[in-house]
């Protein structure tokens, strides 16, 4: 795994905007092709196998949580416990997810967390870096089968009627949602897209409707379950009159309370870090994480007598404590970076990676996206 300096292409902004990647320069610099990461095929095989194995362990952990009544550890409103259980027992359709891994190219990738409910970074991981590859390294390859796998996974969704796509009013979320909608259209679905604020409850007909009072039979929401189940209309979701994707059982995977359970179920697994609900059980440096934190908020790293903390709005739901696995640091003397690998899952298959860089040890929503390629 080598970080290389690259020549920036002329006109890449126009190319990406034509692809729907309009948020390529949020916060000044997001997509950053001044650099790229080079892997060899053996390293890509390592990432692929680790991702598949971690995903299967996570599914086993969900089954264990349901069978042993451990939902109480996840700060999920009690009214939704049965919804989580039922959606798992019925193995409701799941589309995708993304592991965040710490790895420098040797040894075992370490799982930091699993963004299994509303992961973003799809457009840049799928189409943007593929177009970059064709222009910069046309003879190389890339760990990237996201687009094809998303279309094939949608085809496994056994449902009729329109598939509504909703998210919050954010340029990045809208871009990711539009891309996912496009893959569903290519899979043969009739679709409609609107904002989450456009949804309402039709009391007379007892049904969830959009801004044109059209009944919503199938809802893909790029909107976290922990927010959704606290909305005013959330009690109506319990009727199950609307099929929701991602399903309610994904609340367990996207919650960091899964990390201590994984360590309990698979102690000393080479891709896992020790994790507990009590800080005193951690030996050495550790990271304190809120159960529901997003975009690196309210993370505290306790390492070698120092503390690094990020602000935010999370923490009331509780914390877990995970052994510290520092992100690998790459430094060319110009733009030093700590690197995080996002490894994608579609259905139950590994589907590619996206790489983020930050000048600090905590990956945030402002962290840069760097393309990658690999050679034999």
Per-chain mean pLDDT for the chain: 95
Which pLDDT score is estimated for 153?
98
Q: What are phi and psi of 255, to 5 degrees?
A: -105, 135
Please give the C-alpha separations between residue 307 and each of 23, 286, 294, 303, 324, in angstroms, as whole numbers. 32, 10, 19, 6, 12
DSSP state of 359: S
Over residues 135-164, the pLDDT tens digits come to 999 999 999 999 999 999 999 999 989 999
Instruction: Please report the DSSP string for 239-294 in residue order.
Output: G--SEEES-TTHHHHTSTTHHHHHHHHSTT-TT---EESSGGG--SSEEEEETT--
Which pLDDT score is estimated for 206?
85
Which pLDDT score is estimated for 2?
96
Which pLDDT score is estimated for 167?
96
The pair of three-digit structure tokens given for residue 3, joined into one six-digit string: 């970080």
- Burial call 246-277: b when 16+ CB within 10 Å, e when fewer: bbbbbbbbbbbbbbbbbbeebeeeebbbbbbe
Whether residue 246 is preceded by a cis peptide bond, meaning omega within 30 degrees of 0, is yes
Which pLDDT score is estimated for 239?
79
Helix, strand or coil, per DSSP, at residue 2: strand
Which pLDDT score is estimated for 237?
86
Series of mean pLDDT values for 10-residue runs along the chain (376 residues): 96 96 92 97 98 98 97 95 96 97 97 96 97 98 98 95 95 96 98 94 89 94 93 83 95 97 98 96 94 91 92 93 94 90 98 95 89 96
Q: Are strands 191-195 and 2-5 parallel, antiparallel or unpaired?
A: unpaired
The pair of three-digit structure tokens given for residue 295, joined into one six-digit string: 């975009």
Interatomic CA distance for residues 42 and 3, integer angstroms: 17
Which pLDDT score is estimated for 293?
87
The pair of three-digit structure tokens given for residue 282, joined into one six-digit string: 């951690």
Over residues 178-234, the pLDDT tens digits come to 999 999 999 999 999 999 999 988 888 888 999 999 999 999 999 999 999 988 788
| Residue given tokens 């409707």 in the structure block | 209
pTM of the model: 0.96
């Amino acid at each position: 795994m080598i970080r290389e300096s690259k020549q920036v292409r002329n006109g890449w902004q126009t190319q990406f905007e034509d692809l729907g990647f309009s948020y390529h320069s949020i916060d000044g610099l997001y997509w950053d092709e001044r650099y790229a990461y080079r892997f060899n095929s053996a390293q890509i095989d390592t990432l692929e196998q680790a991702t598949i194995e971690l995903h299967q362990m996570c599914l086993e952990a969900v089954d264990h949580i349901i069978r042993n009544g451990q939902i109480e550890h996840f700060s999920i409103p009690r009214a939704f416990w049965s919804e989580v259980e039922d959606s798992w027992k019925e193995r409701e359709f799941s589309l995708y997810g993304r592991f965040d891994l710490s790895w420098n190219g040797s040894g075992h990738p370490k799982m930091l967390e699993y963004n299994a409910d509303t992961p973003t970074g799809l457009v840049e991981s799928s189409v943007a870096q593929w177009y970059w590859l064709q222009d910069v390294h046309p003879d190389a390859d890339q760990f990237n089968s996201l687009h094809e796998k998303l279309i094939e996974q949608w085809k496994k969704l056994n449902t009729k009627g329109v598939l509504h796509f909703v998210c919050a009013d954010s340029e990045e979320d809208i871009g990711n949602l539009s891309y996912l909608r496009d893959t569903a259209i290519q899979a043969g679905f009739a679709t409609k897209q609107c904002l989450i604020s456009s949804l309402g409850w039709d009391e007379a007909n007892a049904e969830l409707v959009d801004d044109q009072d059209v009944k919503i039979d199938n809802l893909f929401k790029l909107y976290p379950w922990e927010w959704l189940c606290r909305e005013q209309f959330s009690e109506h979701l319990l009727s199950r009159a609307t099929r929701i994707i991602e399903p309610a059982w994904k609340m367990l995977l996207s919650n960091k309370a899964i990390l201590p359970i994984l360590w309990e179920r698979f102690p000393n697994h080479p891709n896992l870090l020790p994790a507990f609900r009590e800080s005193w059980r951690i030996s050495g440096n550790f990271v304190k994480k809120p159960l529901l934190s997003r975009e690196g908020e309210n993370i505290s790293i306790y390492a070698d007598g120092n503390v690094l903390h990020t602000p935010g709005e999370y923490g009331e739901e509780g914390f877990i404590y995970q052994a510290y696995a520092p992100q690998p640091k790459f430094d060319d003397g110009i733009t030093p970076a700590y690197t995080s690998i996002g490894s994608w899952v579609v259905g139950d298959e590994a589907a590619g990676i996206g790489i983020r860089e930050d000048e600090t040890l905590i990956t945030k929503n402002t962290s840069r996206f760097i393309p990658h390629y690999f050679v034999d």
